[in-house]
Structure 1
Amino acid sequence: MILGIGIDIIEIERIKKSVEQYGDNFLNRIFTKTELEYSLNKKNKFQHLAARFAAKEAITKAISSHHKSFGWKDIEIVNLVNGMPTVNLLGKLKDFLGNDKIIHISMSHSDHYVTCVAILSLKT
């Protein structure tokens, strides 16, 4: 059973400009240490940062009718060994999924945009 759906699209250039304008203040407010280590070591670092930003937005939309009190860093996007992105919920969201819910995400990008869809569902 689907409990929530969220989608987000963002211009990669928007994230690049935020990083250039606000630097570490922006990066450390939005992203976890793990996300920064992963993204900043990539050739297309702004694309990877934008993907994580879009994922956090999509996840927020998917869960917002069930949980409202959390921050950017309570959602962490990591990649499995095979490259598939997955979600770690931290802080105030750590216990939200419990044993009965799961969040699926799918991210995609072009040269200028990144998009992510998130689905919150009951485990079957």
Structure 2
Amino acid sequence: MIYGIGTDICDIRRIRETFERRGERFAEKVLGPHEIEVFRERFARVPARGIAYLATRFSAKEAFSKAIGMGMRMPMTWRACEIVKAPSGKPGIQLHGALAEWFDAKRLSAHVTVSDESEYAAAFVVIETRD
């Protein structure tokens, strides 16, 4: 059964401007341990790809927080929710700490998709109950 649905669209230009003002501190606030490594690799090769990656992760976390119905308040934090990629390329959600415990206690599972174009990143999340 569906527990919640969340969607978000994000202006990549706004993410780029914030990154230019705040530097890598901004990426470190939004991205989890695995994500920050991927971001650094992509940004080093092609900065625009790194920024697009950051924007898609920002958007997916916003969509996830809406789908679980709590927004950005504990136990939901930017770094406790990571958007990871399966070997097939399919995106998934990996949770950490108190957020993972809360999610498991509620017996929930998550599905996510992300997309980006030159100016926008978008994400859609569906949360289901496991039974």
For 2:71 and 2:62, locate their aligned partners in 1 and report how far apart those are by CA, in whole Å. 15
Is 1:77 paired with 2:83?
A: yes
Q: Deviations over 1:70-99 (max 9, x none)?
A: 211111111111111110111220112327
Trace 1:22-101 onto structure 2 (pairs within 5 A).
22-42=22-42, 43=46, 44-65=49-70, 68-70=73-75, 71-98=77-104, 100-101=107-108
Which residue is 2:127 aligned to?
120
TM-score, normalised to structure 2's length? 0.86
- Give the unaligned 5+ runs of structure 2: none
How many residues matched?
124
Is 1:108 paired with 2:109?
A: no
Q: How many percent identity over aligned positions?
A: 31
- Could you list the runs of 4 or more consecutive aligned residues of structure 1 that deviate by over 6 angstroms after TM superposition? none
Q: Which moved more, 1:52-61 or 1:73-82?
A: 73-82
**DSSP 3-state at the match of 2:64:** helix
After superposition, the CA RMSD in angstroms is 1.9
**DSSP 3-state at the match of 1:94:** helix
- Give the unaligned 5+ runs of structure 1: none
Q: Structure 1 residues 47 and 61 mapped into 2: Cα distance closer, same or farther (>3 Å)?
A: same
